[in-house]
Amino acid sequence: MATRIGLIRHGETFWNRMGRWQGHAAVPLNEEGMHQARLLADYLLPQSNQITAIYASDLKRASDTAQALADRLKKPLHHDARLREIDVGEWQGLTGDEIRAWDGERFETVQRDPFGTQRPGGESLDQVAERALAFLKEVVQQHTEGYVLVISHGGTIRTILQRLAVVGEGRIWVDNTSITLLRYLHADNRWMLDAFNVLEHLGTRRIVPGSDG
């Protein structure tokens, strides 16, 4: 018995293009992001009979991406704040260069221990992992079989993969609307990575933005 989880990063935003750290900001998808979501929905349509539910972060960029999928696939959509991106606190809306210039000492402290150190006024990756993994535990208990789509954020998806030990400890990139496939084996209480950062639906339209989130 196994549950398949499709971890999907939201579509592109203007802040992605500008390299701004989004955190919990209510940044909407841009035109390209909406197009990406529609392409993803068309790509997933042949698999709709396998998909049992769609869950999404309640932040606008993820929620709008998920709504495009739910409408096309005709599946129920559930929002869960535990799927939010890391709260970057005082750094929200800034670029990496701006943070280094304005708050370089605290930035270096976070870089040395990103999991254990809270962003100023925000969260640590340990806190993100705690809430995101609690969500996944509930989902696999509720959906003991089938395919569940989970629309979240780049940092949150990376944190999940690293905490489940299905990827290495180095930095990995998660593209907008990419699909990462996990499989939970109930009998073994074990997670497996079946595919990472799948972008077939974008074809030649792949764009690597300046920031995740």
143 is catalytic: no
**Residue 106 domain flag:** no
**Residue 102 domain flag:** no
pLDDT for 211 equals 63
pLDDT for 200 equals 95
Report how far residue 159's alpha carbon sits from residue 165's, in angstroms, rounded to the nearest whole number: 10
162 CA to centre of own chain: 13
**Mean pLDDT, to the nearest integer, of 91-116?**
97
Say which CATH number the domain at 129 has: 3.40.50.1240
pLDDT for 84 equals 98
Cβ atoms 6, 149 nearer than 8 A: yes
**Residue 134 domain flag:** yes
**Mean pLDDT, to the nearest integer, of 77-86?**
98
Domain count, the chain: 1
**Mean pLDDT, to the nearest integer, of 186-206?**
89
**Mean pLDDT, to the nearest integer, of 64-84?**
98
| Mode of pairing for the β-strands spanning 190-198 and 147-152 | unpaired
**Residue 8 domain flag:** yes
90 is catalytic: no
**Residue 133 domain flag:** yes
pLDDT tens across 17-42, in order? Answer: 999 999 999 999 999 999 999 999 99
**Residue 42 domain flag:** yes
Cβ atoms 51, 179 nearer than 8 A: no
pLDDT for 168 equals 84
Give how far Cα 182 sits from Cα of 6, 121, 136, Å.
Answer: 6, 32, 11
**Catalytic-role residue among 85, 123, 153, 201:** 85
**Catalytic-role residue among 10, 24, 153, 201:** 10
pLDDT for 209 equals 47
**Residue 111 domain flag:** no
Structural domain that includes position 6: 2-86+123-205
pTM for the model stands at 0.95
Alpha carbons within 13 A on the beta-carbon side of 75 = 26
pLDDT tens across 111-150, in order? Answer: 999 999 999 999 999 999 999 999 999 999 999 999 999 9
pLDDT for 204 equals 56
**Residue 114 domain flag:** no
pLDDT > 90 in the chain, percent: 92
